[in-house]
Chain A
Amino acid sequence: MIIETDSSDRGGAETLRRYELDGAYDEMFRAVDHPRKQYRLLHNLLLSLGPGELRRSKHEADQSFFNQGITFTVYGNDKGTERIFPHDLLPRIITAAEWERIERGLTQRITALNLFLKDVYHEEKIIGDGVVPGKIVYTCKHYRREMRGIKVPRDVYITVVGTDLIRNPEGSFVVLEDNLRVPSGVSYMLTSRRVMKQIFPGLFQKCRVRPIEQYSQELLSTLRFLAPEGRSEPTVVLLTPGAYNSAYFEHTYLARQMGIELVEGRDLVVHDNVVYMRTTFGLQRVDVIYRRIDDDYLDPLVFERGSALGAVGLFNAYRAGNVAFANALGTGVADDKAIYAYVPKIIRYYLDQDPILESVETLLMSNPAQRDHVCQRLEEYVVKAVGESGGYGMLIGPHSTEQERSEFREKINAQPRNYIAQPTINLSTAPCFVDGTIEPRHVDLRPYVLYGEKITIVPGGLTRVALRKGSLVVNSSQGGGSKDTWVLQN
């Protein structure tokens, strides 16, 4: 394919002059023509580019994504079921000081949430002490009573976490969501870094960007840490729902990077509470399963009966301590959006510290006073279903129609426990290359946290972009894309 320069293409300098700031915090500009310090090198580079150069780079990057098969699967479309992951050409840059705070804040938060999970499935002290109401815990969609009293390996429930952070108009990072079940997206962080190094080698070097390539090694040693006692050379596998899952690319990518087997449920056999996989040499014992399948589908004996994705007997093997899961089962209770409202209290309760990263003010619709307040002002709030993720089941008040609002009002009143409301936050914007020009788009940040012998966070993450102009929804299933995230060396 030949990319012609569009006659409407302008040079970098002219494009940047048209960049418009609105009320949101902009990642690159303090004011028009005044880039923040960490963005100066990028800014200079953009100024020097002639018309069409960005388009050529973008094409080169697209080509690289496509040839590497960095795609996600689009459901309900039988021709060309794979699309390249939409990505933006310009990196998002985070300073060393900003990162240091994120790192400390996430470490604190994840430590507390892990303690919370252990407590909730064992002694329930936090409920007894009246800090988190038992009624809310037990009604969580992802609370698993089967997990009560089960000792999980090394007391680690949440091995892999992807926490969504946003930057508010004042410029500080705030936690929007904890993803404690099977967070995805890390492969896009790793592959888009590879592509960016290819596209902007000089800039990358000059900026002194901290590396993220060690993620796979860190993940592997985190997983090995969970192996049952006495298994000195544990077999670790990644359990995938299969090639038709939307994140299949990521599953294959991580398995290859770690050098472990990518198994499907049909490869596994449980015998005498020990898990084996069918290999050409016979049945081989499995010690740790990095599962990318939801709790419900893991074992038809205990959970969803019709599921063919897991394997019969897995849960009993887990209960017997013969195999470890990462993440543990039932961790969804701690990322329920109603529990989210209690996380600051949870941190204070277990760690006796003030939260380093703020949360977004959250109103529980199960509380009658808060519900009335929100229902009268739906146009100011974002309403979310508590057990959902991926941007589904959500109302963005300021962008909604009267009809959508009245539908949500009915839903909320029918099942108040199922909804929470948060004030609409104007996510920060970052410059993006869209249709031949550079325009601001809203972004968030998802760093990946690994909890093994210690907590490790690779410096970076997935910056997700709402590619539609003005949109605040960054999920890939809803038209979002990604940016490479550069954390600078001190």
Chain B
Amino acid sequence: MLSRVADSLYWMSRYFERADNASRVLKATYGLILNPAKFSTEERWFRAVSSLAPGAASSNVDPQRALFLLVADTEGAFSIVNCISVARENARQVREEISSEMWEHLNRLFHEVTGIELQPNDDAGAMRAVSLVREGSYRFSGITAATMNHDEAWHFIQLGKYIERACNLSVLLDAYFVVDKHADDLDWVGLLSSCAAFEAYCKACTAELKPERIANFLLLKPEFPYSVRYSLDRMHEALTSISNLSLSRRTEKVERLIGRLQSMVAYVQVGEIIADLHKYLAAIIDQCRELHAAVHELYIEYPIEGAFQT
């Protein structure tokens, strides 16, 4: 596959996942702020902003504007509308690679979301956009899985989706497990809902909300699709499949990085990491970044010398 195409598929997938993540977090946060609780509305919005728009949260969060900014701000790189636009723009560059159904769906979603023409303070409109993306993203995953060959293109899409998810989950967990600010039950429900995990958690661990169990579930549970462990397993699969296809390329570095990253979640118990969760999560994010750079150098922007096929 063309390197440029692989790159676009990867980013299409990452941005779509980013929009999906934002829609989950916003839906959960919006549900939370309706209730009076230990945390103030500002603090809750601050948490949402800091998990969705890292770097942008340092200033005081204006709760009136937070929702609008995270949904519709075309300047901010993090807003849902912007993520969907970038995902679509990437898809548009590689329309011949993705299936018509995928393009049609993404295109329609883009037009629906941008068609709302949100004004600040229009919470209902903002939440309508959030819902569109929530449903749209499940559908997009299904359409993608069902309509395209599970070949190299698919593996780059999977890689983008799960590296983004692993990073997003780590950032989100970090925002909830801030030291010395213990959340109440309602907040833990919020965290689980942000990961579409509430029902799954109850099934696996009962409805008793214990921080350590929640951390274990969202970090280390290999069976749950919105856990870090699950995401890293899928990344490993995707990278192995790509490297098996490409035969002679030098893949040692990428294999070493994904192996090390995966072992961080595969051979650890929650008791060992809960004390300094922040450091642990930061290490996962750093290693994801390192892996991203290595993949880019191996498959996308490699030096021409020695790259001729025999």
A interface with B by C-beta (< 8 Å):
67-69, 242-243, 249, 251-253, 255-256, 261-264, 266-267, 269, 271, 276-285
Contacts and interface: CB of A to CB of B under 8 A. Distances in A.
28 contacts: A68-B100, A68-B104, A249-B95, A252-B95, A253-B96, A256-B95, A256-B96, A256-B97, A262-B96, A263-B2, A267-B2, A267-B3, A269-B304, A277-B2, A278-B2, A278-B307, A279-B1, A279-B3, A280-B1, A280-B6, A280-B156, A280-B246, A280-B300, A281-B1, A281-B245, A282-B302, A283-B309, A285-B309
Contacts of B247: 281
B221 interface: no
B267 interface: no
Contacts of B97: 256
Interface of B: 1-6, 89, 92-97, 100, 103-104, 107-108, 152, 156, 242, 245-249, 299-300, 302, 304, 307-309
Contacts of B95: 69, 249, 252-253, 256
A316 B89 CA distance: 34
A280 B9 CA distance: 12
Contacts of A283: 304, 307-309
Instruction: Tell me the interface secondary structure of chain B in the complex.
Output: helix
Contacts of B108: 67
Given A67-B108, A69-B104, A281 B249 contact: yes
B308 A279 contact: no
B4 A278 contact: yes
Nearest to A238: B96
Given A67-B108, A262-B94, A280-B299, 7 more contacts: A69-B107, A251-B96, A256-B96, A264-B4, A280-B156, A283-B309, A285-B309
A262 B242 CA distance: 21
Contacts of A249: 95
Contacts of A271: 304, 308
Contacts of B304: 269, 271, 283
Contacts of A280: 1-3, 6, 152, 156, 242, 246, 299-300
Contacts of A277: 2
B4 A267 contact: yes
Nearest to B3: A278
Contacts of B309: 281-285
A285 B308 CA distance: 9
A243 B95 CA distance: 10
B160 to A, nearest CB: 14
B2 A281 contact: no
A151 B245 CA distance: 38
Instruction: Tell me the interface secondary structure of chain A in the complex.
Output: mixed
Contact of A252 (B96, B246, B302): B96
Contacts of B93: 242-243
Contact of B246 (A261, A267, A281): A281
A269 to B, nearest CB: 6
A256 B104 CA distance: 15
B248 to A, nearest CB: 8
Across the A-B interface, give the 7 residue pairs with the lowest CB-CB distance, nearest first: A252-B95, A256-B96, A255-B96, A280-B299, A282-B307, A252-B96, A281-B246
Given A67-B104, A68-B100, A271-B304, A282 B249 contact: yes
A285 B92 CA distance: 26
A67 B106 CA distance: 10
Contacts of B300: 280
Nearest to A282: B307
Contacts of A278: 2-4, 307
A267 B301 CA distance: 11
A126 B192 CA distance: 81
Contacts of A255: 96
Contacts of B96: 251-253, 255-256, 262
Contacts of B92: 243
From B2, B4, B93, B302, name the one whose CB has the most chain A CB atoms within 10 angstroms: B2
A264 B2 CA distance: 10
Contacts of B249: 281-282
B120 to A, nearest CB: 20
Nearest to B245: A281
B4 A266 contact: yes
Nearest to B104: A67
Contacts of A252: 95-96
B133 to A, nearest CB: 18
Contacts of B1: 279-281
Given A280-B152, A283-B304, A283-B308, A69 B3 contact: no
A279 B3 CA distance: 5
A279 to B, nearest CB: 6
Contact of A279 (B2, B94, B103): B2
Given A279-B1, A280-B242, A281-B245, A69 B103 contact: yes
B35 to A, nearest CB: 38
A72 to B, nearest CB: 13
Nearest to B95: A252
